[in-house]
Amino acid sequence: MGLSVGVTLSGLGNASEECYFAALRQAGLEPVAIAPSASPEAIAAAVRSTGGLLLSGGPDVHPSRYGEEVEGSEVNGASTLRDAMEFVAAAAADAAGMPILAICRGAQVLNVHRGGALLQDIGESHRDGRKQDEKWKPFHLVETDGASRLAEVLGSSAAEVNSRHHQAIDPERAGEGIAIVARCPVDGIVEGIEGTDPRRFVLGVQWHPENMAIGPEDTMERAQARAIFEAFAAAVRERVGAASLS
């Protein structure tokens, strides 16, 4: 399996998706794209052939996935094909006990896959609206549980992060084996989750470290973003090493 990781993508090949590849390669991992057009069997096989899974950002998760009707009129770009692909991928990774890094939509997918739910629309307060070349810029503060894996990875109980989402994890409906470990101090919106099994790397963040990891040098934001990918890479290396000995 090498040091490759599956990356769930929209299949559109846009500039935002290239940022995931760049950030993973900085950390010594080789991304393997998983597109919605693949069959469930091919998706699961692709995940199993790698050392870990990155659930990427993107459009809304359709509310039917967590047993709700659409509230109001705003469901941005929900794709039943992409939802289906990512839920298959997450299930395959969980079945294999693989490391998972889940980013923005990916964190929401992970929570719903584990039986949790989302807040369908939190308004505009977490949308920074920046263009591609400015998406690395921080937008608001996140506070983390000081005893969490996320705080250990960040090297701090606080981080300045970017932001572009209008859905969020419902704090009253966290998924099975999911701990809420970070929030925005202004409004309590969930910003970080992780698996409750300390033996396995499962981490989700509501912001976009893939943009911040390739931002300007010598900033705390870049260092913390890169630390997230490096921690994921370390978990992948550990799993690959353990598999080669078995």
Catalytic residue among 194, 210, 221, 230: 210
Instruction: State both tokens at 3.
Output: 């040091």
Note if 210 is an active site residue.
Answer: yes
- Residue owning tokens 């509501």: 206
Instruction: State both tokens at 108.
Output: 């929401």
pLDDT per residue, tens digit, the chain (246 aa), is 459 999 998 866 677 789 999 999 999 999 999 989 889 999 999 999 999 999 999 999 999 999 998 886 667 777 889 999 999 999 999 999 999 999 999 999 999 999 999 999 999 999 999 998 899 999 999 999 999 999 999 999 999 999 999 999 999 999 999 999 999 999 999 999 999 999 999 999 999 999 999 999 999 999 999 999 999 999 999 999 887 776
Q: Where are the domains of the chain?
A: 4-245
- Hey, how many other C-beta atoms are within 10 angstroms of the C-beta on 163? 21
Residue 199's identity, in one-letter code, is: R
Query: Got the DSSP string for 145-186?
Result: -TTSHHHHHHTSSEEEE--B-S-EE-TTSPPTTEEEEEE-TT
| Rounded Cα–Cα distance for residues 156 and 198 (Å) | 19
Catalytic residue among 140, 208, 221, 230: 208
Cα 4 from chain centroid (whole Å):
17
Note if 238 is an active site residue.
Answer: no
CATH of domain 4-245: 3.40.50.880
What is the length of the chain? Answer: 246
Instruction: State both tokens at 68.
Output: 């709700």
Instruction: State both tokens at 117.
Output: 């739910």
- Residue owning tokens 């998972």: 100
DSSP code at position 123: -
Q: Determine the pLDDT at residue 1.
A: 45
Q: Determine the pLDDT at residue 241.
A: 87
Evaluate whether 103 touches 55 at the Cβ level (below 8 Å).
yes
Catalytic residue among 17, 86, 104, 221: 104
Note if 184 is an active site residue.
Answer: no
Instruction: State both tokens at 207.
Output: 């912001």
